[in-house]
Amino acid sequence: MDEIVDPLDVTDLLRQATANENEFAPLLICVRKGSIATPRGKPRTISIVQNSSTFARISWNAKGRVKSVLLCRSDLPQLSALIAHVKVPVRKKVLRTVLYTSREISGYVTVPGWIQIRPIEEVIADKTPTSYVQRNPRFYAFGLEVEYQGSRVRLIDSHRSQVAIETARALVAAFLNVPVFSPTSGWAHALVDGQVALVQLTSPAFHFNDDTTFSDVAGLDPCAHIGLDAYYNDVPRPKAKLEFPDLAKLYGAYQSLGPELALRFVRASANIFDAGDPSLKPGTALTSAVTAIECLIENDDQRCKTCDSHLGLTAAFKSFIAEHVDKTGALQATFDKLYPSRSRHVHGARHASVDEVLFTILPEDTATLQMISWIAAKRGIVNWLLATAKV
């Protein structure tokens, strides 16, 4: 790849066009219908090329923020025209997808300007016998509708829709007190027409209908929300209906965070979403749950309250648990097992499928710790949010 001809720094111009730095690359790609390439010997840098000719380049600093954006000067008129399109007000759109949980939803919840959750009838593939599915109602489907700001630039519109749905399902997974998941793509054996067959699994698609409003929920009752303390501290009753906290209040707290803290909270929520996948091995799910907490203590300059020395990550994890999960210390001995167990799985000293087959002679039950880690992460990140929010 060659160097940019007559490069011009357009960093400030792009920042005036959009506050989301992740939209810089799509905009530059649209300048010449280019593609992304990684130049050798230039870490944290991507090139935008057309026919192997570099016409733009983006560089990031060590903290992941855009440091500079260079563009071939002759492409400035086209970029300016694209930016003008991005700035034109466009109606908001609604995107739909399907999620699953272990609780049946009997009503709907709407948070104006963000999401609507409603019951749906699950679409069953024509090769899967209906009677077989109905005899095993372990999981229930519900519809998630997400509002997002569209754009006249198609690639920007696509990017915004993807970010909106990924962020919404991560936050919903963080806010609900039961695991939420989307079926994992892959292959599995299933009973089809009375015989075992190899079938391909797919995740629910995102549905684009250019709708501008949520679905009509006439005939459905709105779900009442439960106080946050009771919602997260009480154990859900077996076979209970899906219950909801005050999602509007939680979303408002999330919106009050600054950009960096909001991004870290979404990362934590995405790990909660990953940890709720019932197809995951216990060790993998435990790692995702513990990582959710790590997202919120990462890069914090935490110091010991007694001696003022810097805390290591393990000590910072314990400090987070004590502050946001177990203030009384009643379950400290149990929570203290989480980070070491996570480290053993991550660094190869343990694998639940190998070390805990049927019975284990070691004093560690990853399946139990998986459940405890999920509870700790769930309560921890929500309490962190409420304590950090500027509302």
Give the CA diameter of the chain.
70
- Distance of alpha carbon 117 from alpha carbon 242, whole angstroms: 11
In a domain, 1, yes or no: no
CATH number at residue 284: 1.20.120
Residue 248 and residue 69: Cα distance in Å, rounded? 37
Q: What was the pLDDT predicted at 190?
A: 74
CA 62, 64, 66, 68 torsion-angle sign:
positive
Burial class (CB in 10 A: 0-12, 13-18, 19+), 386: middle
What average pLDDT score do residues 202-213 get? 67
Domain boundary among 212, 237, 256: 256
Q: What is the C-alpha to C-alpha distance for residues 281 and 352, in angstroms, rounded to an integer?
A: 8
Percentage of the chain exceeding pLDDT 70:
83
H-only helix segments in 108-212? 130-134, 154-175
Note the pLDDT tens digit of each residue in 239-264: 578 899 999 999 999 999 988 899 99
What mean pLDDT value characterizes the chain? 83
In a domain, 248, yes or no: yes
| Position 2 in a domain | no
The answer, yes or no, to whether residue 134 has pLDDT greater than 50, is no
Confidence class of residue 5 from pLDDT cuts 50, 70 and 90? very high
- The answer to whether position 222 is within a domain reads yes
Contact 35, 20 (CB under 8 A): no
Per residue in 79-102, pLDDT tens?
A: 999 999 998 888 899 998 889 898
> Measuring CA to CA, which residue among 32, 62, 68 is closest to residue 50?
32
Q: Give the pLDDT band of residue 110 (cuts 50, 70, 90).
A: very high
Residue pLDDT, tens place only, 33-71: 999 998 887 889 999 999 889 999 999 998 888 999 999
Say if CB 282 and CB 352 are below 8 A apart: yes
Q: Is residue 343 over pLDDT 90?
A: no
How large is the average pLDDT for residues 112-129?
A: 70
Worst-scoring range by mean pLDDT, 19-28, 213-222, 324-333, 375-384? 324-333
Cβ of 247: how many Cβ atoms within 10 Å? 20
Asked if residue 391 belongs to a domain, the reply is yes
- For the residues 6-27, what does the mean pLDDT come to? 94
Mean pLDDT to the nearest integer, 361-368? 61
Q: How high is the pLDDT of residue 245?
A: 94
Token pair of 88 as six digits = 């034109």
Domain match, 111 and 46 both: no
With 60 as the cut, is the pLDDT of residue 336 above it?
yes
> Of 118-127, 154-163, 170-179, 308-317, where does mean pLDDT reach its minimum?
118-127
Domain residues for 366?
258-391
Q: Cα dihedral angle (97, 101, 105, 111), rounded to 10 degrees?
A: -50
The verdict on residue 151 lying in a domain is: yes
Q: Count of domains in the chain?
A: 3
On the question of pLDDT at 121 being above 70, the answer is no
